[in-house]
Structure 1
Amino acid sequence: MPRRVPLGLGHLGHQVEGGNTNNDWWDFEHDPASLARASSGDGIDHYHRYAEDFALLASLGHNTHRLSLEWSRIEPAPGEYSSAAIGHYRRVLTALRDSGMTAFVTLHHFTLPRWFAARGGWLAPDATGVFARYCRHVSAELGTLMPFVCTINEPQMVALHGYLEGYHPPGVTNVMKWKRVGGVLLEAHRAAVAAVRDQAGSRVGLAVQLPLLAPVDAETPAFLDIRHEIVDRYLEDPGGDWLGVQYYRKQWVDPAAPALFAPPPAGTALTQMGWAVHPDGLREMLHRAAEPGCRST
Structure 2
Amino acid sequence: MKKFPDGFLWGAAASAPQTEGAALIDGKAPTTWDKWFEMNPEKFYKGVGPKDTSNVYQQYAEDVQLMEDMSLNSYRTSISWARLLPDGKTLNQQAVDFYRNYFVSLIEKGVEPIINLFHFDMPWWLMEKGGWESRESVEDFGYYAKVAFEQFGDLVHRWTTFNEPIVHVECGYLFEFHYPAVVDFKRAVQVGYHTLMAHTQAVEEFRRGKHTGEIGIILNLTPVYSKSDAPEDIKAKDMADALNVKSFLDPVVLGHFPTELVQLLKENNLLPATETGDKEKLAQTTIDFLGVNYYQPKRVQAVNQPAVPAKMPSDLYAEYDWPEKKINPYRGWEIYPEALYDIAMRIKNDYKNIPWYVSENGMGVAEEERFVDEDGVIQDDYRIEFVQDHLAELHKAVEQGSHCFGYHMWTFVDCWSWLNGYRNRYGFYRVDIENDFKRTPKKSSFWMKTVIENNAID
The normalised TM-score by structure 2 is: 0.61
Structure 1 residue 119: Cα displacement: 0.9
Q: Conserved in 1, the CA contact under 8 Å of 2:142 and 2:198?
A: yes
Aligned residue number for residue 275 of structure 1: 333
| Structure 1 residues 10-50: Cα deviation after superposition (integer angstroms, max 9, x where no partner) | 10111111132411122233443885423133112100111
Find the structure with the greater CA-based Rg.
2
Is residue 83 of structure 1 aligned with residue 93 of structure 2?
Answer: yes
Please give the alpha-carbon distance, in whole angstroms, between the structure 1 residues aligned to 2:44 and 2:208: 38
Query: 5+ unaligned residues in a row in structure 1: which ranges?
Result: none
**AA partner of residue 34 (structure 2):** W
Aligned residue number for residue 160 of structure 2: 150
From 59, 68, 71, the equivalent of 1:58 is 68
User: Greater CA deviation, 83-92 or 232-241?
Assistant: 232-241
Structure 1 residue 263: Cα displacement: 6.2
Q: Conserved in 1, the CA contact under 8 Å of 2:233 and 2:300?
A: no
The 5 Å alignment of 1:192-211 reads 192-199=202-209, 200-211=211-222
Query: Which SS does the other structure have where 2:121 is aligned?
Result: coil
Is residue 166 of structure 1 aligned with residue 195 of structure 2?
Answer: no
From 242, 245, 249, the equivalent of 2:292 is 245
**AA partner of residue 207 (structure 1):** I
Please give the alpha-carbon distance, in whole angstroms, between the structure 2 residues aligned to 1:176 and 1:34: 29
Please give the alpha-carbon distance, in whole angstroms, between the structure 2 residues aligned to 1:124 and 1:31: 23
**AA partner of residue 224 (structure 1):** D
Please give the alpha-carbon distance, in whole angstroms, between the structure 1 residues aligned to 2:145 and 2:129: 19
Please give the alpha-carbon distance, in whole angstroms, between the structure 2 residues aligned to 1:170 and 1:287: 37
Aligned residue number for residue 248 of structure 2: 234
Please give the alpha-carbon distance, in whole angstroms, between the structure 1 residues aligned to 2:152 and 2:129: 27
**AA partner of residue 209 (structure 1):** N
Query: Which SS does the other structure have where 2:238 is aligned?
Result: helix
The normalised TM-score by structure 1 is: 0.92
Aligned in 2, Cα 1:263/1:75: closer, same or farther, shift over 3 Å?
Answer: farther
Please give the alpha-carbon distance, in whole angstroms, between the structure 2 residues aligned to 1:253 and 1:198: 42
From 200, 211, 214, the equivalent of 2:225 is 214
Q: CA RMSD in A?
A: 2.2
Query: Which SS does the other structure have where 2:321 is aligned?
Result: coil
Structure 1 residue 190: Cα displacement: 1.2
The 5 Å alignment of 1:9-158 reads 9-21=12-24, 22-32=30-40, 35-37=43-45, 38-158=48-168
Please give the alpha-carbon distance, in whole angstroms, between the structure 2 residues aligned to 1:188 and 1:195: 11
| Structure 1 residues 175-233: Cα deviation after superposition (integer angstroms, max 9, x where no partner) | 11222222222211111111122332131001100112234564454542332121013
Aligned in 2, Cα 1:30/1:235: closer, same or farther, shift over 3 Å?
Answer: same
**AA partner of residue 16 (structure 2):** G
Aligned in 2, Cα 1:233/1:148: closer, same or farther, shift over 3 Å?
Answer: same
Structure 1 residue 91: Cα displacement: 0.9
User: Greater CA deviation, 34-43 or 208-217?
Assistant: 34-43
| Structure 1 residues 128-147: Cα deviation after superposition (integer angstroms, max 9, x where no partner) | 11100000011111111111
Is residue 224 of structure 1 aligned with residue 238 of structure 2?
Answer: yes
Percent identity (aligned): 24
